[in-house]
Amino acid sequence: MNQRKLANLIILFAITLSACSPSSATATTSPVAASAPGGQAAVPPTAAVPLPFAHTPCAKGVDLTGQTISFYHILDPHDQVDTVYNPLRAGYADAAEYFNAHGGICGATLEHVFDETHWGDAQAVYDIFSALNPKPIVVTLYGSGDAVQLAGKLAADQIPALNIRGGSTASAYGEDGKTLGWVFATRPLYPDQVGAMCDYIVANPDRFPHPVMGFLNFEDAWAQAAAKEARPYCTSLGIGDAGAATFSNDDTYIRPHVQNLINAGATILYTNSHENGPALVARTLLEMGLKGKVTLATGNNAMDSYVAFSGEADLGADGLPAISGMLGSMPVRSLAETGNPGIQLITAQADLHQRPLTMRTDEYIMGWDTTDLLIEVYIQTGNRVGFDHITGADIKKTLENIIYAPLGRVEQIDYQGGKRRALAADRIGEMEYLGKDGKTPAGAGNPPMDVSEGGQKHLVPMIVPLTDYQPAPDLRPGGADFRPASEITPTSAPITAATSATQTPVPTASGVALGVVKGRIAFQSDRNGNYEIYVMNGDGSGLTNLTNNPADDIGPVWSPDGKKIAFVSNRDGNYEIYAMNADGSNPTNLTNNPANEGDGGSPEALDWSPDGKKIAFQTDRDGNWEIYVMNADGSAQTNLTKAPASDDYFPKWSRDGKQIGFTTGRDGNDEIYLMNADGSHQTRLTNNLGDDAFPRWSPDGKKIVFVSGHGDGNYEIYVMNADGSNRTQLTDNPGPKDNNMDARWSPDGTQIIFWSSRDGNAELYVMNADGSNQTRLTNNPANDAMPMWQP
């Protein structure tokens, strides 16, 4: 185990567990609002740490004090009370209490409502809720079966549903796998999670030198479908296929199934099961002498503390449970990730409410992050349509477009403009148990810690993340990465390590990691002794110096049609705006002015209009920096800002061409302003103590990515809505000034490319649009900066 990955995994809750006592949810009325289970006295939330994150501010003048906003929950009838229902109820109760003590929803009190009289009958509960006046504007579901059963009624009644634990394709896309209904899964679907595991396997050939996967599934249709939909994708990556077997959740002996898969060459067993299923597979591998030789992998429902408890008694010769070392998807952060502010808050509240170890599961955390998500969705919707007439259709529209990280990235929610599951919300983790050192997983020289609770001793589960959030492949039938079952090529022979290693990103001569980004990228680099404009393909190939001039050529900006590149150069003795063909030919001076149009410290000096007919740029020809506009051939140069008392710079056109964003120091610090394309109606968009600069609209025009500094010499990348709301930090790398700069969207809006000096010099990086999966693209002792995708 890489000890660096564990440096921050200190389990705070382990210290206080011996003083905790069990509690349970016992209310039986119908419906009932969530309260503290077991009748425990409420602990004042003000004793907890301050709110470490913020929701979108409510619209000016909105005050809902005195109102109650209810969120309705329909529980999966197959869920176990002790392992799922009680922790969920506890999480919802604690979260509602905490948020209500911190302002609620624009002053309104929020409550979670359950129907426990009809628990186990999803249809009956839904009929009760949907008959209320007013009817719910959103409900939550907790299983694939319920989502399939209720899909038609939800659509007819126009009530969107968040599916918290479901993951079958049918639960999100209907029985035909193609319907964009009213159910939104908060994580990747089960086949997507299998694909993410296969991505991890081929990216780590040292750990998996001979990857051959066998599937051991519950007999449930969702479990078998997940394997069927994912297997062709995994084989296409070079992972062998050993076939599949099924077992019942009542089975206690599955050795023949395991033996058949091993005989077919399986070095990895993936189990689509939960509850006692993963522990049974792990126990079988232990009894067969295969622990440590065959890797056990699973989906998110099995990567939970309650599953770890079910397997804690099956100890191997090393004193560790057989299930330790199991890999799986973990969309929700675990309580072991104590460096996360949301986890710190949840842990503090669990301590205050004396929640026992057996209740501190994924479900308890889900109660918190789902509450936070519902609050954010409600506020964004109310700000858009008004808080007095929010409908389910309004909530649905918000969900289709929301990009949000509840509780400071305890989870990642992004439906990518309408998809029905959050593909970005996936990580790979490893199930372990806390060692007696109280800091790291149990292992050699560090035996497991045990905790007495309710007359029983328990080991302390510890889910260790192995990757950060990154997009799972789209394996829904018809999805971008889906391959039909006919493409499966079963094999009984192990795949060689060399074959699987070819799928791993490798550096090229350009210093760019292969396979990380697509498309063509222009950037500036001083790798030849002075700054030149380079282009390369997204896989690192085709690296070409376009300018080849002894002067400095900086700040490349593609024209909207991708046929030209504008840039700044001092080749004529001062900095001027030039344009050249995309192949570097025919460089032309557009400004021809003795002043500077941008300079070596301001390479982000220009931007093309969306129709390609004009170029906005900055110039100091009037004695201070002003924003000008000119025709694409350099004619008709006109001052737009006309603010002699301040400096205005870094112009960026809105996607519809009607506005220009720019940065100005007219308020004492740098802020982002907007103006009409003719320079009229100049208004401030940001209002912060730190410097805000370099605004750039997303391809759909709904978001703006920008850079912000806080006076500490460190700059980070943020994103906000186009109206300035919902400011969200994407990077967090304390370091030298200009740490994370010049962020630009990919043409499809799913990624952001930028440059950062976090490794000592300027290098190119890419990340997902939500800030996850930050990956270094270049690795060159020179400075590589100002990247931009070709449209």
Q: Could you tell me the domains of the chain?
A: 3-188+335-427 (3.40.50.2300), 197-327+474-501 (3.40.50.2300), 520-789 (2.120.10.30)
Report whether pLDDT(99) > 80.
yes
Give the long-range contacts of residues 631-635, CB within 8 A, separation 24 or more: 632/559, 632/579, 632/608, 633/590, 634/577, 634/588, 634/589, 634/590, 634/591, 634/592
What the block records as the tokens of 16 is 């206080």
pLDDT at site 485: 54
Tens of pLDDT along 272-316? 877 788 888 999 999 988 888 899 999 888 888 878 887 878 888
Q: Please, which pLDDT band fits residue 671 given cuts at 50, 70 and 90?
A: very high
SS3 labels along 511-537: CCECCCCCCEEEEEECCCCCCEEEEEE
List Cα–Cα distances, 41 to 25, 37, 94, 345, 551, in angstroms: 14, 10, 12, 19, 73
Look at residue 476 in the predicted model and tell me its pLDDT: 80
- Among 67-81, 117-131, 501-515, where is mean pLDDT lowest? 501-515
Span 183-196, average pLDDT: 89
Residue 549 has pLDDT above 50, yes or no: yes
Per the CB < 8 A criterion, the answer to whether 340 and 408 are in contact is: yes
> Cβ contacts of residue 502 below 8 Å, gap of 6+?
238
- Identify the DSSP state of 495: P
Instruction: Say if residues 539 and 546 touch (Cβ distance below 8 Å).
Output: no
Distances (CA, A) of 505 to 202, 267, 475, 765: 10, 23, 21, 14
C-beta atoms surrounding 726 within 10 Å = 20
pLDDT, the chain, mean: 82
Residue 514 confidence (pLDDT): 36
**Looking at residue 502, what is its pLDDT?**
30
Question: What pLDDT sits at residue 39?
Answer: 33
Q: Which residue type sits at 258? A: V
Q: What is the DSSP letter of 446?
A: B
Tens digits of residue pLDDT in 3-34: 222 222 222 222 223 223 333 332 333 456 65
pLDDT at 593: 87
Evaluate if residue 477 carries a pLDDT over 80.
no
**Would you place residue 133 in the very low, low, confident or very high pLDDT band (cuts 50, 70, 90)?**
very high
pLDDT higher than threshold 50 for residue 657? yes
pLDDT tens track for 553-572 = 999 999 999 999 999 999 88
pLDDT at 539: 61
Residues 6+ apart with CB under 8 A from 90: 23, 25, 36, 37, 353, 355, 359, 364, 367
What pLDDT shows up at residue 486?
Answer: 52
What percent of the chain has pLDDT above 70?
84
Whole-angstrom distance, CA of residue 641 vs CA of residue 679? 6
Question: Distance between CA 438 and CA 235 in Å, rounded?
Answer: 40
pLDDT at 727 over 60: yes
Average pLDDT, stretch 104-132? 89
pLDDT band at 90 (very low <50, low <70, confident <90, very high): very high
Q: Of the ranges 4-8, 156-160, 515-519, which is most confident?
A: 156-160
Which percentage of the chain shows pLDDT scores above 90?
37
pLDDT given for residue 248 in this prediction:
79
Could you tell me the pLDDT band of residue 487, with boundaries at 50, 70 and 90?
low
Task: Assess whether pLDDT exceeds 90 at residue 676.
Answer: yes
Is 507 or 155 the better-scoring residue by pLDDT?
155
Lowest mean pLDDT, pick from 52-66, 147-161, 372-386, 612-626? 52-66
Q: Which residue has the higher pLDDT, 25 or 387?
A: 387
pLDDT over threshold 50, residue 598: yes
Q: Residue 276 has what pLDDT?
A: 82
Average pLDDT over residues 129-142: 93
**Which region among 138-142, 517-521, 651-655, 696-700 has the lowest average model confidence (pLDDT)?**
517-521
- Given pLDDT bands bounded at 50, 70 and 90, which one contains residue 736? low
* Model pLDDT, residue 470: 81
69 residue type, one letter: I
Q: Is 175 helix (H, G, I), strand (E, B) or coil?
A: coil
Average pLDDT of 498-524? 50
pLDDT reading at 268 higher than 70: yes
The band of 781, judged by pLDDT with boundaries at 50, 70 and 90, is confident
- For 669, phi and psi rounded to 5 degrees? -140, 165
Beta strands in 338-449 (DSSP E): 403-404, 413-414, 428-433
